Every structure is written in structure tokens, then in C-alpha cells.
Homo-oligomer: A and B are copies of this chain.
Amino acid sequence: MSARPPAADAGLAQVLATLQGRSAASLNDLLAFAAIPSVSAQAAHAPDVRRAADWLAARLRQAGLAAVEQWPTAGHPAVYAEWLGAPGAPTLLVYGHYDVQPPDPEDRWRTPPFTPTVQGERVYGRGVSDDKGPLLIAVQVADAYLSALGRLPVNVKFLFEGEEEVGSAHLPALVAARRGRLQADFVLSADGGMWSAETPSLTVSARGLAALEFTVRGPAKDLHSGRHGGSLHNPLHAIAALVASLHAADGRVAVDGFYDGVSDRTPAERQAIRALPFTDAAYLEQTGAPATYGEAGYSTLERQWTRPTLELNGLWGGYAGEGSKTVLPGEAHAKITCRLVPGQDPARMPALIEAHLRRHLPPGVTLEVRAGAHGARAYELPAAHPGRRVARQVLETVYGRAPLEVGMGGSIPVLETFSELLGVDTVFFSFAVGDEDIHAPNEFFRLARLGEGQEAWARYWAALAADAGPGGQP
């Protein structure tokens, strides 16, 4: 960090020096935290999720935060902590999540998913990028402030949930019940992700989410495909036809009503996206896909940030093992998630898709549709928001250039929770990078981002206090 501008005030300089001195300890924090397999989607890992919550609460106490609590939910608990010793200064609600995605398919990992492993300039392990590394940055910065200066420049409340990877189903009830404790000027999110490791970016929009699963059933049990094949509908044929019917040849979603309320961005917004340093060729090299593909008439980034999608996340039935099994299976299954843009209502999507599936259901099979976990609306951060202004300034200081303002293809369901229940906006300030294989085997986090993120978070709190003026609101 030596090439960057010195801290404007001596206190901040002390904090940055403290963080630099603790870089090895910071990494050790992450190795210990990511070794806990807090897979929220799988019931067998419930004790591990609890263990991760305990570990995080202990780490917050160790940072010097006196009020550290675990808040139970109907699912996994949230971990809460606060420091409110700056009366009149802005109050931030720092958000993150300590649960992680399932490691499947485990045989594709080059190192064990829950034995975080440093290789070169990276650490590999499930959850290191999403979201344990970025979350720890905020905790470590609070720790450095409190040990170097005995105080933070702003008031900070930490809320770390354990169900983000399963749709944050119980968070709305928790936030509603704790509304008073959680009051803040805005949310600063440690979850999210940056454009690239080289170019700082600020995420100012996110797509929403809706989920459902369905099952197609034919015969009451698996049958011999020789004996019965050709005389009963095969659920695998039926589900393939149903899934194929969900998209038109031009890549658009073929579900009636799916695009209701969706409008194109303005020509200026579309031009801004086109001006970003992005090429399909580099994107294909990064992903290894043979070609881009999607809705006709839009660029790759427009497809990712500004257009809604309907994606199969799983499709299965029959025999998937070694060799051959001549079976006509009794049922077939599919999991779907939709990514939504402003104007779409997540609550409406499962019914629209179910109506489509029922209209296209062939004879000889039956259909069962199950709505998935709580959805989320799409989100956009107002351009003039002070949290956005300070973020731009800090990123320019840390990285030496103005950040790109980008969209986010993914969803953070809690955005809607904070907006609706607390009436506040959310600023994404994560130091994960989009290529770190989150939700896939060999997830990694760049070691350099720990230090960069710590500096940025330390500067952000100081700058926000300065921006708000002595004792003022931002």
C-alpha cells in the first residue's frame, strides 16, 4: 500500500499501519473461518453452520465489539454486533453472510473444499470469496480501529446472516422484529463482487430472483424400457419438451407475461455499458464457453445486467451411473431460477411459469410445481446517494483510478428486505472478484484483496465521517 496516498489524518494512518502489521493474522482468520463447512442448503451441515456462527461471534468479540449477539431465526441464526460510540456521526449497517454454497461436484476440486489452501497469490476453498473473505475484512477493520484508536469514525452495526445461499428466507422476519436495533443511514454490503482484479468497480444494480422446482411423473414406478418403451410417455422425453418450450429460438423466454413491466435502458445507459472495457473474446476465454448465446438484440453485458432470464439449475431423472440401465423412469425433475430486472414481481413468476408448463404438458404424464424460497426484486442504487459518492472517492484513492459503475447479474435478496423494512439503500463494497468461481469447484480469493479491502473499508468509514461533517448525517 506504500504507493498510495498517505492517510489524510494521523488516526487513519495508525489504523492502516495496524492492518498492515496484521496481514498474516488476517489470512489465518480466513483459513480458520473457511475450514468450517457452513453449507446452509444441506441439513447434515446444520451443526457446522452453528459452529461458523459461534466462530464469527467470538471473532467480533475479539475485535473489541462489546455488544455481540446471536439472533435465532426459524432457520440458521444471524450474528449481530454493534459499536455506537460516535453520536451524531452516520450509522452504517454492515451486511454479509457466513453460510456457503454446497461444494458439489466435490470430485472437481483440486484441493479439499473445506481445507482452505494457499497456492501462489490465492487461497482456495468453498466460501473464501463468497462471502467469508469479504466479510472478515469489515471485522478486521473494526478490530484495527478499536485497537489503534479505541473508536470508530462512524457508528457501525454488523449483521451477518447464515441463509444467504438459500434465499435469506427468514431474514425479513428477523429484520422486521429487530427493526429498532437495525436502524441505520444505509447498508454497506460486504457481499457482492467487483468487475475485475485490475479495475475497481462499484456495483449499482442487481437482478432480482425467483425460484421454482418441478417434477414430471409418468408410471408409478421405474419400468423396463424394453418391455414398456414406446407405449407409455417417458418422463424424460416430457420434461425435455417442457424445458425446451421455455425459450424461443431467438433466446427470449417464451413464458406468457414474463416480460410484463420490463423496459429497455435509455440509449445513454446502453451506450455507457457498451463503453466498458469488455470483449466477448476475453469473456469466452475466461469461461471456456465456445460462443456467447442469449436474447437477440442485446450485448453480453446487457444480457447479464439488464435483461431477465430463466435458467435451469438442475435437470435429472433415470439412470446416471456407470454403464447402461434400460429403464423408463417414473419421474424427472428440474430446478429453475429466474433473474429479474426492474418492473418484474418475483412473487408472480412461479405462477406464470407453472401456467406455461401446464399449457405445454403432454398427455401421459402429470406435473407437480413447487415454488422455491423467497424471491427478490431487482435493485438500483440512486446515482446521488452519499454512500455511492464516498465509495467512488475511496476506490479512486486505493486503486489510483475512478471505479467503473457496473451492474450485477446475480441477486442479493436482502436488498429488498433492507429497502422495504428499514427504508434504506445498500452500497456494495465487496472485494471479491467476479472470476473467483463462487458456486463452482475451486472457489478462490486473491490474497492481495484482503489488504486492499481493509484499506478501502478503513478509508470509507473515515471519509464518510468527514463527508457528513462534524456530527452531521451523510
A residues whose Cβ falls under 8 Å from a Cβ of B: 40-43, 101-102, 104-105, 108, 166-167, 193, 207, 209, 211, 218-234, 236-237, 239-247, 283, 287-295, 300-301, 303-304, 307-309, 311-330, 332-333, 335, 337, 339, 362-366, 372-373, 408-411, 434, 437-442
Contact = CB atoms under 8 A, between A and B. Distances in A.
B289 A311 contact: no
Contacts of A309: 225, 229-230
B303 A326 contact: no
B289 A218 contact: yes
B166 A289 contact: no
A42 B312 contact: no
A312 B240 contact: yes
Contacts of A221: 108, 287-288, 437, 440-442
Given A229-B311, A241-B244, A300-B231, A322 B287 contact: no
Contacts of A437: 221
Contacts of A42: 321-323
Contacts of A313: 225, 236, 318-319, 324-329
A441 B221 CA distance: 8
A193 to B, nearest CB: 8
Contact of A333 (B239, B293, B320): B320
Contact of A227 (B226, B245, B304): B304
A47 to B, nearest CB: 16
A92 B373 CA distance: 64
22 contacts: A102-B321, A207-B226, A219-B287, A221-B288, A224-B438, A225-B337, A225-B339, A226-B339, A228-B304, A229-B304, A230-B295, A230-B311, A231-B283, A233-B291, A237-B243, A239-B315, A289-B364, A290-B365, A313-B325, A315-B316, A319-B335, A324-B373
Nearest to A364: B293
A217 B241 CA distance: 19
Nearest to A245: B244
A54 to B, nearest CB: 22
A209 B231 contact: no
A39 to B, nearest CB: 9
Nearest to A337: B326
A278 to B, nearest CB: 11
A300 B313 CA distance: 36
A312 B307 CA distance: 34
Contacts of A303: 230-231
A237 B312 contact: yes
A180 B385 CA distance: 90
B440 A220 contact: no
A247 to B, nearest CB: 6
Nearest to A217: B290
Contacts of A224: 409-410, 438-440
Contacts of A411: 226
B244 A439 contact: no
B304 A231 contact: yes
Given A209-B326, A233-B291, 6 more contacts: A108-B222, A230-B295, A230-B409, A240-B312, A315-B315, A319-B335
A225 B311 contact: yes
Contacts of A317: 314-316
Nearest to A225: B311
The 6 nearest A-B residue pairs measured at CB: A220-B288, A226-B410, A41-B323, A293-B364, A240-B243, A233-B293
Contacts of A320: 314, 316, 333, 335
A359 to B, nearest CB: 15
B226 A409 contact: yes
Contact of A289 (B219, B362, B373): B219
Nearest to A224: B439
A293 B229 CA distance: 10
A21 B386 CA distance: 94
B439 A325 contact: yes
Nearest to A230: B309
